[in-house]
Structure 1
Amino acid sequence: MAKVTLMCAALAAASLTGCAGLNADVHTANPPAALQGEPTYPIARLPSQDASADHPQFEALLREELARRGFVEAAGKPAHYLLSIAYDTRPRAIGIGVGAGDCAPSDCPKPAVLFSLFGGRAYQHSLTLRFFERTSGDERYKVSAVIADRDADPTHAMPVLVKSALAKFPFDAPPDWRVKLQQDKASSVPTVISVKPQQP
């Protein structure tokens, strides 16, 4: 039994899909009632995103998930919202767990605890989506998703981050949620299993 437990913990630390499953922490801001306008948007890009080889993959995943929720991209046409995308991958210290120490508590959730038995480097991946009303410039909805793993490649975290951030759209109160996912072994496509408020 002890050997099985040790193997399970090691596998969980080595990949996105551990024995305990895959978890993401999600934080939202602004009441969901504020996101009641016509569900159309263009994506606002930063110059660094225009030059990024990874960014088109993020946008493609987001377009697909938003379309499933009735949102339509209106590139080059009048739209109600402007969508801002920010994402980041950074190394984190391995210890008892991986925290979101570089984020303000109100802006970024703490990622799920990741245990390591044999050392190595952990990574924190985060995604933040912000919906602005295009005419007024007011932020109407903001959602952030964070995961921790031992994979430095941000493209591997993209599907999990997108699925988690849009697991409920929009998320209602409370602001902090835990999204549990399962990754298909053949296709590597994550599926949301449960979405639950985090316990204070």
Structure 2
Amino acid sequence: MKFDQWTRRALLMLAALAVTLSGCTTYVTTQVTAFSDWSGSDATRTYAFSRTAQQQNSIEQSTYEGLVANELATYAFRQTPVDRARYLVALTYGSRTDQMTVAQPVYYDYNPWPGPFWRPYGPWGPLGPFPPTYVNQTYAVFTHSLGIRITERATGKEVYNVTARNAGDEPSLVRAMPYLVRSALADFPLSNGAVRTVKLPVDRHGGVASNEVPVAPAAPAGASAPAAAKSPQ
């Protein structure tokens, strides 16, 4: 029957939509902007964290500093006491909540009885296509941000300033912070005025997956070995 054909098509479309939506929720996309005057070498990458008065004695601050320290260590940074550090690293972070209104299509079930409120089933009724009714739905959107500012301790000169920001349905800054840190410091140091989008996969425990960089396929026999990773600048 024609109705059965349309039903099968609708079910296939819904299944495809479900797969698409489930795929979209496995990544966190972060916008990153960097300003750089970086000229540091491996030998001089010693640093200490600096705090504002409000950040002193803050457990939350210490938690985020630990995440940043772990990431900086991958770029040959060494945390030292303040009087022996060449650089000071300052963090700023926060969240805000916005409302987003989206028009959603609504389809009425098929009613075989005649009357003024009759509508066909879905967009494909027995009398041809009919437009849906749209209803406005309001959703909360949470925007989280992290700023990392690196200055020379002796002169106060700013040498690196990067901001990472992402938005979605995650209300917790704590859960968003690993993605913000990883994205902000990805490929350090970025060029001055760099603007980029970083996409990190989510593991099943809600953290940053360890395989966010795809592994290149093995080179065929006799081929030259891939170039080594670039050393920190």
- What is the rounded CA distance, in whole Å, between the counterparts of 1:126 and 1:4 in structure 2? 35
- What is the rounded CA distance, in whole Å, between the counterparts of 1:3 and 1:149 in structure 2? 23
* 129-138 vs 2-11, which moves further: 2-11
Specify the alignment match of 1:181 in structure 2.
200
Amino acid at match of 1:132: T
Instruction: Indicate which of 90, 95, 99 corresponds to 1:93.
Output: 99
Q: Secondary structure at the match of 2:33?
A: strand
Deviation at 1:55, TM superposition (A): 1.6
Q: TM-score, normalised by structure 2?
A: 0.63
After superposition, the C-alpha distances for 1:10-36 in whole angstroms (9 at most, x for unaligned) are 668xxxx615x3211100012444x44
Specify the alignment match of 1:40 in structure 2.
46
Deviation at 1:74, TM superposition (A): 1.0
Number of equivalenced pairs: 168
Tell me the percent identity: 27
Instruction: Indicate which of 152, 167, 178 corresponds to 2:171.
Output: 152
- What is the rounded CA distance, in whole Å, between the counterparts of 2:175 and 2:57 in structure 1? 19
Larger radius of gyration: 2
Q: Secondary structure at the match of 1:169?
A: coil
Specify the alignment match of 2:62 in structure 1.
56
Specify the alignment match of 1:138 in structure 2.
157
Q: Secondary structure at the match of 1:148?
A: strand
After superposition, the C-alpha distances for 1:52-101 in whole angstroms (9 at most, x for unaligned) are 442221011111111111001112441111111001111123257xxxxx
Unaligned stretches of 5+ residues in structure 1 = 97-116, 195-200
Contact 2:145 2:165 in 1 (8 A): yes
Amino acid at match of 1:18: T
Unaligned stretches of 5+ residues in structure 2 = 1-11, 103-135, 215-233
Instruction: Indicate which of 21, 25, 46 corresponds to 1:18.
Output: 25
